[in-house]
Each structure stands twice: as C-alpha cells, then as structure tokens.
C-alpha cells in the first residue's frame, strides 16, 4: 500500500459497490474503481471471463461469481447473504455503469429493501458519452435503452415517443441497426438522428442525418460496434 492509499477511507463492510468499467478504452478506468476492486471481498460479474481479463490488466485477482439476466434472483439472494455477513461486494457489468441497460437494478432494489448499503462508483457510461458529444439538446432527454425485439412492440413504443420534447436516446446492436433506421424513417422521417458507435475506441464515429440518409450509409458500409442512437425531440424540429 502506498502513502496515498493509506489516507483513503477503507471500504465499508456490508456494502454493495456498483463499479463502472470502461466501455472500450481501458484508460477510462478510475483510480477509485481499481481500488474498490482491489479491496472488495468478491466481484459479482456479468461475464466472469471478461471481468477476469479486466482484473488481470490491472494486476488484480479476486473471487468472482457470475451475475446476469437469467440468474438475477438466485444471485441477489447470495449477494444479500454475503452483505449481511459484512462482506464488501463489487458489482460490475461487461462495460459501463451497472443497471443502465445491464444487470444490476434487481439486486440494488433487493439490497435497499433489506436496509443494506449501496454505493455507486461512477465512471464510463455510453449514454452520457454519446449524448454530450452528439450536438443534440442535452437539457432534456428520454433514455429508452434497447427496444423490444418484436416489430409490433418496437413500433408501438416509437409511436408513443413521437411527441416527446427532449432528445430520444436508445441502444442498438450492429445486427439490428438497419431495421431500426427503417422503423425510425416510418415514425420520425424528418427528424435529425445521430448514430454514435465504437465510443472511446480508435474508430469512434458520429454519423448525422435523417433516418433515410443514415440507412443509405449503413447499406454502403459495414458498421461494427454497439450503437447509441439519438433522435432530436419534437420541440426542436
């Protein structure tokens, strides 16, 4: 332990730490995040293999338990038991801030309802990184996350957002981005849309245009990486 670490307060026993991890660029890992991962008793990870690589990069080795969408209920109980015993649990997802379109919300709710402590260790978040650099209004926005997979449900949700005054923000995979642009063209034909991809990485890119213009781009180029899709609000048209 170096001198600066000696002056920092120790982690609090019985606390769930929500640790944000890089969305692409490992330099975005905060000093505090590394310290929490170093000093916690166990890491609850969405993907233990991926988190294992992250820990290895920072010279850390910790016990891990897998925590993902389909075992949230079971793992929430185990995490509660650990916290009640006074353990310090760090929860991480594959990338970004836990609970934002990623596992975490259910266990946080369970921990809060049990009267136990939750502490956020803030850091990278694709939503914030994309919106603040998009050039679209940031004073009011509506975050949707991922749309449903079924076309009817997707269309219904988009229609319900037509009159929203702020910027709309959602996530999409490279495999469904063309489908989404077609749907946006049917609902928001004249709106300005911004696509952000490969955020914080070497090939980070922001593309702007109407849904039809962007669809033309995606049909000419193979665009990889996860997307943050932003649509200008109705009041800004």
CATH of the domain at 145: 3.30.950.10
Q: Count CB-CB contacts under 10 A for residue 81.
A: 10
Q: Are residues 91 and 134 in the same domain?
A: no
Q: Are residues 114 and 165 in the same domain?
A: no
Give the pLDDT of residue 199: 97
Closest CA to 27 of 152, 139, 124, 167: 124
* pLDDT at residue 236 is higher than 60: no
Task: Give the residue ranges of DSSP H helices in the chain.
Answer: 3-6, 31-39, 48-57, 72-84, 105-113, 126-134, 151-160, 177-187, 211-220
* pLDDT at residue 32 is higher than 60: yes
Q: Please say which residue of 121, 138, 163 terminates a domain.
A: 121
Q: Are residues 43 and 148 in the same domain?
A: no
Number of domains in the chain: 2
What is the extent of the structural domain holding 104? 3-121
Q: Please say which residue of 101, 121, 141 terminates a domain.
A: 121
CATH of the domain at 91: 3.40.1010.10
Percentage of residues in the chain with pLDDT exceeding 70?
A: 95
* pLDDT at residue 235 is higher than 70: no
- Pull the structure tokens for residue 170: 């959602």
Q: Are residues 170 and 104 in the same domain?
A: no
Residue whose entry in the numeric block shows the structure tokens 């219904």: 156
Q: Are residues 104 and 184 in the same domain?
A: no
Give the pLDDT of residue 6: 65
pTM, whole model, 2 decimals?
A: 0.91
Pairing mode of beta strands 15-19, 167-172: unpaired
Q: Are residues 146 and 117 in the same domain?
A: no
Q: Are 143 and 164 in contact (CB under 8 A)?
A: no
pLDDT-derived band of residue 101, with 50, 70 and 90 as boundaries? confident
Q: Are residues 167 and 99 in the same domain?
A: no
Q: Are residues 138 and 217 in the same domain?
A: yes
Q: Are residues 15 and 111 in the same domain?
A: yes
Q: Are residues 10 and 111 in the same domain?
A: yes
Q: Are residues 75 and 162 in the same domain?
A: no
């Amino acid at each position: 332990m170096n001198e600066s670490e000696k002056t920092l307060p120790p982690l609090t026993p019985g606390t769930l730490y929500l640790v944000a991890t890089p969305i692409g660029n490992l330099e975005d890992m905060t000093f505090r995040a590394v310290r929490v991962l170093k000093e916690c008793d166990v890491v609850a990870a969405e993907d233990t293999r991926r988190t294992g690589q992250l820990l290895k990069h920072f010279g850390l080795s910790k016990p891990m338990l897998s925590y993902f969408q389909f075992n949230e209920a079971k793992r929430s109980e185990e995490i509660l038991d650990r916290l009640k015993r006074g353990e310090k649990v760090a929860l991480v997802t594959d990338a970004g801030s836990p609970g934002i379109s990623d596992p975490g919300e259910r266990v946080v709710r369970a921990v809060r309802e049990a009267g136990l402590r939750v502490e956020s260790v803030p850091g990278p978040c694709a939503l914030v990184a994309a919106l603040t650099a998009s050039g679209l209004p940031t004073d009011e926005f509506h975050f949707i996350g991922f749309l449903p997979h079924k076309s009817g449900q997707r269309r219904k949700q988009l229609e319900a957002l037509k009159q929203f005054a702020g910027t709309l923000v959602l996530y999409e995979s490279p495999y469904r981005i063309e489908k989404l642009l077609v749907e946006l063209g049917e609902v928001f034909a004249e709106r300005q849309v911004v696509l952000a991809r490969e955020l914080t990485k070497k090939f980070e890119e922001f593309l702007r245009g109407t849904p039809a213009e962007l669809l033309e781009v995606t049909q000419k180029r193979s665009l990889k990486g996860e997307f943050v899709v932003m649509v200008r609000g109705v009041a800004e048209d």
